[in-house]
Amino acid sequence: MAPKTAAPDAPEKTATLESFNPATGEVVGEVPTITPDQVQGIVDEVAAVQPAWAQLSASDRAGYIDRAAAILLERIDEIARLLTAEQGKPISESYTMELLPSIDALKWCAKEGPKILKDEKISFPQALFKTKTSKFRFQPIGVVGVIAPWNYPWTIPVQEIAIALLCGNGVVLKPASLTPLLGEEIQRAFEDAGVPQGLIRTVHGGGRIGDALTKSSAGKIFFTGSVPVGYKVGEECAKLMKGCVLELGGKDPMIVLEDAKMDFAAAGALWGSFANSGQTCAGIERIYVRREVSDRFIGDLVSGATGLKVGDPTEVDTEIGPMVSEDQYHLVNELVDDAIANGAERLCGGPVEIEGFTGKFIAPTVLTGVNHDMRIMKEEIFGPVVTVMTVDSDEEALRLSNDSEFGLGASVWTGDRQRGERIGDQIEAGMVWINDHMFTHGACQCTWGGVKDSGLGHSHSKFGFYECVEIKLVTYERGLARNFWWHPYDQTFSDAIRSSAKLLYGKGGERIEGLKSGAGPLLKVGRRVIRRDD
């Protein structure tokens, strides 16, 4: 999911990158960095290991992925603590939003991956092709580059790496510079599961390293981050005639209809808006509620928001942790302040200080009185802030929902499933949830991806597998007869072709006419087809 800000490059003369706890400011650890000119050599080293891995069957590769799931389960508490220390996510969300979904995804990939990657037979209903057999084969790309974000620094790269590996590829992982230790831990988990040394490599050094990886000979790039950087990644990949999958953020709308269950919808809005301190690209940022129920819904939302606990992310009952960085904190407050200066009303929330912590915290914030001329309704907030607008019709809610350059996810809350699906079909988004929001990121069988500026391509699901392979068509001809359309070309051939068109694709009378006019030419061409010169 797409962070609002890019991590700064590592200093030019520094050989290590330090990781800081966003709640306390303390150093969590450090990792060695590389320079951009070293990236291609690392890609080459992975490419040297990859062919042997690709020779294994998909079922054999799946065994390693399944073992990786077992290792994550063994280390779940250790990794959860690291996630909370390095990214600031409340410890409960480290389990629910990162680790449990990752383990489940690895198990699903190990079970379903070999079936997805199995050769797919193609049928030929055409009479002319009855002597032929054909199939799709799914072959590795080679080396896949994964440029990961800081907001979901575990589950996003783990799932992308698992699918890439199962497809027979090697991987170069570039973690976000705010969460480098988690990148190292991901590589260690896969290697401890038995994945060959050197098949996964982790590289650090800021945005320059991601740029060098994009420009390297890696066959495909998976990038999660900001829209401007995503466009650059796409442009560089296009120059090299290689593919990329871009997940660039969102401005997800939530439509609350008058027949929705209000307490249920308000509870969903709280989680969808404020989970991970709002640092989620598919989080709810805009709510459009029908006027008939707006007072109750807004009241429930504000009451719930003020009841969420902001504080120490290591405590199990904390619901809102710190912003990942001071820069992110200032960006969120800038958007809120701009909205208030232009007429918006803050019903609750805002910056807060937590005793004993130096990190930057923002309490869950609800804004009303907003309009689409404000920056906050156009730009991705990426913090614990949600805006609410009252609408008078389904059509107005739909129009406002689509009034965005983003198109990642959206949700419709209603007691009428058909009505919800009808509205959902008209929302410009890659994913629509009815009476829920965002949960399918934790279900790897469901595809993930957006439209418009929210990105390109898909991760997860069978479509995520297809992003990690070259799809090759293989056909076989038994050679019992020559093809109908082979040389020589002459009048007999021309007459037979025209008659064949009527026989194959015409209706009753046309078929009879084709048979009458083409019987002779067809018979002559048929003799040519079955003639053998050996």
CA nearest 173: which of 196, 147, 193?
Answer: 147
Q: Are 162 and 68 in contact (CB under 8 A)?
A: yes
Contact residues for 133 (Cβ-Cβ < 8 A; gap 6+): 121, 124, 475, 476
Q: Is 438 left (phi over 0), alpha (psi -120 to 50) or beta?
A: left
Of 167, 237, 281, 468, catalytic: 281
Query: Catalytic site residue 237?
Result: no
Residues in the chain: 534
Taking the C-alpha atoms of residue 512 and residue 515, their distance in angstroms, rounded to an integer, is 5
Q: Tokens 């059509």 identify what position?
A: 395
Q: Annotated catalytic, 467?
A: no
Asked if residue 501 lies in contact with residue 521, where contact means CB atoms within 8 angstroms, the answer is no
Q: Identify the CA nearest to 122 among candidates 110, 135, 131.
A: 135
Helix/strand/coil for 204:
coil
Write down the catalytic residue from 184, 185, 247, 467.
247
One-letter identity of residue 74: E
What DSSP line would sit under 161-192, residue for residue?
Answer: HHHHHHTT-EEEEE--TTSHHHHHHHHHHHHH
For 359, residues 6+ apart whose C-beta sits below 8 A from its C-beta are 21, 22, 23, 24, 25, 88, 322, 323
As to burial, measured by CB atoms within 10 angstroms (0-12 exposed, 13-18 middle, 19+ buried), residue 524 is middle
Place of tokens 């303390």: 26
Rg over CA atoms, the chain: 28
Name the E strands within 82-206: 120-122, 132-140, 143-147, 170-174, 200-202
**Mind telling me the catalytic residues?**
247, 281
